[in-house]
Amino acid sequence: MGQTITKGVKQMVAEANAAIRSIPAAEAADLVGREDHVIVDIRDIRELQREGKIPGAFSCPRGMLEFWIDPSSPYHKPVFDQDKTYVFYCASAWRSALATKAAQEMGLHPVAHIEGGFSAWKAAGLPVETVD
């Protein structure tokens, strides 16, 4: 007998988007390199190596996000201990919506994510940094 899923991923993403701030790629482009912002790429390393990333983005695999944010975690990363705005993105803005909501619920703020994700970034012709 199979499982009965009561809430699908589309509903979860819609709920996350209703609770978080989303910004268009063009607006995010204006934030790259600013001292008061951290752009966070939550895609997996294979995606970064295959497609590149937003220049200067900090790479944090989605599966480690909560562990890297939490200062009591043995996996905590100091990048998440700064008084800055955190802007998350993934390939198409589904994972980043969920990640942004989780970060916000943990108390990280201010946070936002890029509408359309890296796909929207590339479609807008914005710069891409290669990853080895």
Query: What CATH number is attached to the domain comprising 43?
Result: 3.40.250.10
Instruction: Identify how many contiguous H helices and E strands the chain contains and give both numbers.
Output: 6, 5
Domain that holds residue 42: 21-123
Q: Which two tokens stand for residue 29?
A: 């482009």
Say how far apart CA 52 and CA 71 lie, in whole Å.
29
Say how far apart CA 124 and CA 31 lie, in whole Å.
15
Domain count, the chain: 1
Say how far apart CA 70 and CA 91 lie, in whole Å.
24
pTM: 0.95
Does some domain include residue 118? yes
% of the chain exceeding 70 in pLDDT: 100
pLDDT, position 108: 98
CA 125 to chain centre: 20
Residue written as tokens 């997996």?
44
- From the list 27, 24, 39, the residue with the least C-alpha distance to 86 is 39
Mean confidence (pLDDT) of the chain: 97
Does some domain include residue 10? no
Question: pLDDT at residue 1 above 90?
Answer: no
